Structure 1
Amino acid sequence: MSADITAGPATGAASIAFPRYEQTFPALTDHEIMRMRRFGELRTYKDGETLFETGKVGPGMFVVLSGTVAITQRDGLGHVTPVIDQGPGQFLAEIGQLSGRVALVDGHAEGDVETLLIPPDQLRALLVAEAELGERIMRALILRRVSLIQGGVGGPVLIGSPSLGDTARLQNFLARNGQPHHVLDPATDKDAADLVARYSASRADLPLVVCPDGSVLRNPSETSLALAVGMITNHAHERLYDVAVVGGGPAGLATAVYAASEGLSVAVFDARAFGGQAGASARIENYLGFPTGISGQALAGRAYNQAQKFGAEMLIPVSVRSLDCSQRDGVFALATECGQSLRAKSIVVASGARYRRPEIENLDAFEGRGVWYWASPIEAKLCVGQDVVLVGGGNSAGQAAVFLSGHARKVYMIIRGGGLGASMSRYLIERIEAAPNIELVFNAEVIAVEGGGDGSLERVRWRSRLAPEQHGFDVRNLFLFVGADPATHWLDGCGVTLDRAGFVVTGAQSEQNQGRPVPPLETSVPGVFAVGDVRSGSVKRVGGAIGEGAQVVAALHGYLADAAKPSP
C-alpha cells in the first residue's frame, strides 16, 4: 500500500493514490447490513481491545456497526505500519478469512466498538446467497490481499541477499502462494546485519526467516515455513470428505471449484503451491477468453480464491505419501508427510508431473542456487544484465525464453533436436526468432555444471550431439524445461493401473474384467479418478486439464450416489 492510504479513513488523497480504493474499502448501506445480520452475531469491544491479531487464526469478517477499528500491519522485527481506520458501515477481513486462516494484520478498537461477526462458514454462505453484495465483498477481500502483498512491509521477513539462491527459493514459494513478505539484505540493512550477528548465522543458515510472532527460522524448508506462518491447518484429519483432490494445478483446482459449488465437501492437497507447473508460466496466451494472455499465477490465483469461496479445504503445501485403497471402513485413507491421515469417500488424482531432472553432472548441488525449473519475476531479477542458459524446446521453454529475454543480456537456448516446429506453438517460435538476444543452439545438450567457493553456479558445460568437442558458458543461472515425469509414486501398492510411462490409465482401458462400465476418467480402482497431465492420453494443455476437472464431477456424483445405496 502507498503511504497516502495508511493514515486513516477515505480521503481525496487516498482515492488518488489508490484508484481502486472504493472497491477495496466499500461502505455498506443500512439495508445491506440488515440483510447480513442473519449470517452473524453481535460482538462488542472496549477501547484498546483486540479484534484480531497477526499470526493468530482470525474469527471471520467483522462488520462495524459503531465506533472505529484501527488496522495495522506488523512484521517479526516489531515494525508496525498503519493501514487504515474503519468505521460504521465498513467490514474487516481479507481473502484468508474465507477459510479461517491466520490474520495478516492487527485490529484494535479505538473507543467502544460494536460489530457483527460473520464466521468463515457463514461468510461463504453470504457470498453465495447474496450474489450482488457477495461480488462486492469478494472483490474487496481479494484486493486487500493484493494490497498487503504489494505493500512490502508485513508478513515473514527474509534476512539474506536477494541474489542468494535459497532467498529466491523461499521468495518464490511465498509469492506463488500469495503470502505477504519482504526481504532485507544484511549487506545494506543494519537491522538485518544485527540479526545475522546475533544468531551467528553462517551462509548455510541464510536466509533467516523472522516470523510475525518473532520466532526465527534458519534457511527453512517450505513446509517448515508454512507451518510457522499458519498456512497449514491441523484439523482436516478430523473430517470425512466426499472427495480428496491430490494436486492443486488447473485440473485439481477445476475439480475443487465445480465439486464444492455443487455441495460436495472437498479437500485439496499440493506439495508446493497452487497452480502446479502452469502457475509458474509467465504468460498463457492460448487459453480461451484471454486474448491478451494471462500469467499462470493470476489464472491459478483466481481459481484458488474461487475454490475457497465455495468451501473447499486447501491443504497447501502438504505432500501425500501414500493412498490406502483397502477401504476397510468404506473410505479411502491418505497418509501425508505431516504424519496425519485424511479420509475421503472418493479420490481425484490430479498430481500432474514432477520436473524432469536430466543427467547433468553436479546438478543436485546447484538446485535452488542457480539451477531453476521455472522462471518467475523473482528469478528474472537475478538475471538482469547477465547471460543465462535455458534448456528445452517445448512451449514452457519457449514462454520462459521470451520472458527471460526481457531481463537477461542474452539467453542461450539449448535444444536437443534440430528444430522447434514439432514441439512448440508457432506464435512462440516467431517471438523467439524476433528476439535479438535469444541464441538457439540445436542438436546440443548440457553435460555438467560447475560452481565457485560460495556454492553458487558459475559455469555450464555442454556439447554438440554431432561432434565430440565440449563447450562452456560462464553463467550464474541455468533454466531447465526438459519435460516432466508423472507424479504417481504415492499410488504404489494401491492397485491403480499405470501405463509404461507411469501415467494413470482410465476409462475402458482400466476395466480389467470388472464386469461393469467404467466412466472415462475413473481408474482401475472404483472411486479413484484421474484428471489432467497425470492421466494417460490426456491433452497436455491448461484448457484440457480444466475441462477434465469439470467433467469428473459428474462421475463423482454417480459414484457417491451408488456407494450410498444400501447393499441388496
Structure 2
Amino acid sequence: MAQPAILSVDDDPSVSRAIVRDLRRNYGERYRIVRAQSGDEALAALKEMKLRGDPVAVLLADYRMPGMSGIEFLEQGMDLYPAAKRVLLTAYADTDAAIDAINVVDLDHYLLKPWDPPEEKLYPVLDALLDAWVTSDRKPVTETKVVGHRWSARSSEVREFLARNQLPYRWYMSDEPEGQRLLEAAGADGMRLPVVITCGGQALVEPTDSELAHHVGLATTPASDFYDLVVIGGGPAGLGAAVYGASEGLRTVLVERTATGGQAGQSSRIENYLGFPDGLSGAQLADRARRQVVKFGAEVITTREVVALEVNGSARTVRFADGASLDAHTVILATGVSYRQLSAPGLDEFTGRGVYYGSAVTEAARCSGQDVYIVGGANSAGQAAVYLARGASSVTIVVRARSLDDSMSHYLIQQIRQNPRITVRACSEVIGVEGDDHLERITLRDNTTGRTETVEAQWLFLFIGAAPRTDWLDGVVVRDDHGYVVSGPDLVVDGKRPRGWELERVPHHLETSVPGVFAAGDVRSDSAKRVASAVGEGAMAVMLVHRYLAKP
C-alpha cells in the first residue's frame, strides 16, 4: 500500500512552499506530502488517489482561495475521504469563518497564519490528528465494477443502490470495449445485465439487492435475535432514533430495506436544515448519520424487508419476508414514505429507461445538455430542478396546481424563479410517454384549456407526493384513512382509548395503539414532513422508549 498522504492546498505560492517545506521536514519519511495551488487542482489529486486506492490522512486548506474556498474544498474532499482529518488555514480576521466551518465540514482544527515556529504551532496539532487517524477505522476503499446498458432499468437500480449506500463503483457500458472485455473475463454473454464485479473479482449476474449487499460488505443479518430496540426504517427519523438509542445504552438494531437516508438521502441539496447554513446533500447527511449510528454501537441491517409486526407477551416480534424474525422490548416505526406511482400510458414500460422516481442525483451526469422534465411541486422536486439545471439545457417543472406557493418552501421557489433554465408549467400533467427502447417523447395536457402537446425528451423525474406503504401493519396498529400511523393523543377519541388498549395509562405522545411500539417521522399521521422534525421525533421516541421500559 502507498504511503498515506498529507495534502496541502494554498493559492499563495510562498505560503504553499513554506507549509510543504515544514511538512516534509517532520513527516516526509512516513507520509507522502502532496501540494496543490487551487481547490480544483487539489480535488483532481484527491480523485486520482481515490482511484488508485491511496490513503489520505490529512487535508489542509487555505480559507481564502479564488474559485473555490477552503471550506468548499474540504466539503467536497470529505466526500472522497471521509476519514481524513480536516484543517483550515486562516488569517486572524477569518476566525469566525473557521468556527462556522466546524459545523459545515466537521472541521477537526483551524490554524492561524503564520504558524511559526512550527514546533509549537503546527506539529503538535498535526501529531494529535495523525495519531487519531492512525487509530481510527480506515477500511481500504475498494472499487466495484458495474457493466450494464444505458437504458437497462435494473442497471439503473443497481447504480442507485450502490450510490445510496455510499459504495464506490465504476460504470462500464456493455457495448464499449472495456465493458466487453470485463464481460468476457466474467464469462457473461451480455444478454443478462447488469454484471457486477466485486473488488474480490467475483462476477454477479443480475444480482438482487440482497445478493449485492452481501457481496459488497453490507450487513444483512443481525448479530442477535433479541434487542432492547428495533428501529424499522433508515431515513432521518430512523437514524436519529438509532443514534440516541445506542448512545443511551440500548441494544439497538436499525433495519432498512434499501439504503439509509430515505427520501431525504436522495436530495441533491438540503438548505434549511439547522446548523448547515451552506446546505448539504442528502447523501452527506445520511453518511454522517450512519457513521454516528455505528460509532455508538448500533447495528445497521440492510436489504431486509419487514412484512409483519406481532405482539408476543412482553416481546414485540418483527418478521421479515424471508421468514426470519427479531424480538425486542420496543419498536420504532420510521419507515417514512415512498413516491406515488403515476398512472399514464407508457410510464411503467419506461421506468428506469428515461422515467425515474426520484434518482435525480444518480442520473444527473447523463442529463447534461439535455431537456429534463420534472413532475411534482414539493421540496424534493424543487431541489431536483435546481440541481439538474446546473448541467441540463432546460428543466421544466410540471404541476397540477396553479403555482408552487402552497407546496414548496419559499427559498426554493425564489431559486427557481431566478434560474433562467427552469420553467414551471402550472395546471398541467403528464398523460403519456412514448419511445423505442427508452423514453423519447412526453405528452402533456393543460388542464385549464384541455389542449395537449407532445414534446421531445429523454428524461422524466417523478416526485408526485407520498404514500406510507404501511399495508403490512393492517390490523396491528391504528392507521388513518391514508395509511399513516396514528399515535399519542390522536388515539384517544371522545375520551375512549384505542380498541385493545388494556393499560391504565393513555398512550405516550408518539406511541401507537400497541404499547411499546412508537412511530416517528413521515410515517406518522399529521407529521411535519421535514428532515429536522423527523430527526427530532426519532430522538423523542427514544425518550419515550425509556419511559416505557421503566414502567410499561
TM-score band w.r.t. shorter chain: 0.7 to 0.9
**2:536 corresponds to:** 547
AA at the equivalent of 1:214 = G
The one-letter amino acid of 1:16's match is: R
Aligned residue type for 1:503: Y
Q: Is the 8 A contact 1:5 1:18 kept in 2?
A: no
Distance 1:200 1:558, change over 3 A: closer
Out of 442, 454, 465, the position equivalent to 1:460 is 442
1:240 partner letter: F
- Provide closer, same or farther for how the CA distance between residues 142 and 475 of structure 1 changes in structure 2, counting only shifts above 3 A: farther
- Contact 2:253 2:298 survives alignment (8 Å): yes
Choose the corresponding residue for 2:198, options 202, 205, 211. Answer: 211
CA distance in 1, matches of 2:316, 2:132: 34
Q: Provide the residue aligned with 1:505 in structure 2.
A: 486
Aligned residue in 2 for 1:16:
35
Question: Structure 1 residue 188 and structure 2 residue 176: aligned?
Answer: yes
Deviation digits for residues 77-120 of structure 1 (CA, Å, limit 9, x no counterpart): xxx9674699xxxxxxxxxxxxxxxxxxxxxxxxxxxxxxxxxx
| Alpha-carbon spacing, 1:478–1:466, altered in 2? closer, same or farther (3 Å) | same
Tell me whether 359-368 or 409-418 shows the greater mean CA deviation: 359-368
Partner Cα distance (1:176, 1:2) in 2:
28
Match of 1:365 among 349, 358, 383: 349
Pairing partner for 1:255 from 241, 261, 268: 241
**Consecutive unaligned residues in structure 2, runs of 5 or more:** 7-26, 40-48, 58-126
TM-score, normalised to structure 2's length?
Answer: 0.74
Which amino acid is the alignment partner of residue 212 of structure 2?
L
Q: Secondary structure at the match of 1:201?
A: coil
Distance 1:551 1:218, change over 3 A: same
Q: What displacement does 1:377 show?
A: 3.4
Q: TM-score, normalised by structure 1?
A: 0.72
Alignment partners' CA distance in 1, 2:136 and 2:180? 31
Per-residue displacement from partner, 1:502-527 (whole Å, max 9, x unpaired)?
A: 11111122245344222100011101
Aligned equivalents of 1:14, 1:143: Cα separation in 2: 22
Is the Cα–Cα contact under 8 Å of residues 240 and 344 in structure 1 kept in the other structure? Answer: yes
**Structure-2 residue corresponding to 1:29:** none
CA offset digits 1:458-504 (Å, max 9, x no partner):
2211211123332112211110011111121221232x101111111
Task: Indicate which of 364, 371, 376 corresponds to 1:387.
Answer: 371
Q: Quick check: 1:459–1:474 contact (8 Å CA) kept in 2? A: yes
Write out per-residue CA displacement over residues 47-94 of structure 1, whole angstroms, 9 at most, x where no aligned residue: xxxxxxxxxxxxxxxxxxxxxxxxxx99xxxxx9674699xxxxxxxx
Alignment of 1:28-107 (within 5 A): 83=54
Please say if 1:441 is aligned against 2:421.
Answer: no
Where does structure 1 lack aligned partners over 5 or more consecutive residues? 21-72, 75-79, 87-132, 149-153, 564-568
Selected match of 1:472 from 454, 474, 490: 454
- The Cα offsets for residues 425-456 of structure 1, whole Å up to 9 and x where unpaired, read as 1211111111111121111111112221x3x2
**Are 2:551 and 1:532 aligned?**
no
Report sequence identity in percent: 40
Alpha-carbon distance change, 469 to 197 in structure 1, aligned in 2, over 3 angstroms: farther
Please state if 1:432 is matched with 2:451: no
Count of matched residue positions in the alignment of Structure 1 and Structure 2 = 447
Q: Distance in 2 between matches of 1:473 and 1:140?
A: 56
For 2:491, the aligned partner's letter is S
SS of residue paired to 1:509: helix
Distance 1:233 1:343, change over 3 A: same
1:231 aligns with 2:218: yes
Measure how far apart 1:16 and its partner are.
2.8
Q: CA RMSD in A?
A: 3.3
Whether contact under 8 Å (1:177, 1:273) holds in the other structure is yes
The partner residue of 1:170 within 130, 138, 158 is: 158
Aligned residue for 2:163, secondary structure, equals helix
Q: How far 1:287 moved relative to its partner?
A: 0.8
CA apart distance, 1:168: 3.1
Mapping for residues 484-495 of structure 1, pairs under 5 Å: 484-494=466-476
Closer, same or farther: CA 519–451 of 1 in aligned 2, 3 Å: same
CA distance in 2, matches of 1:389, 1:177: 26
SS state at 2:450 partner: coil
Following superposition, the deviation at residue 172 of structure 1 comes to 1.8
Counterpart AA for 2:214: L
Counterpart position of 2:144: 156
Deviation at 1:3, TM superposition (A): 10
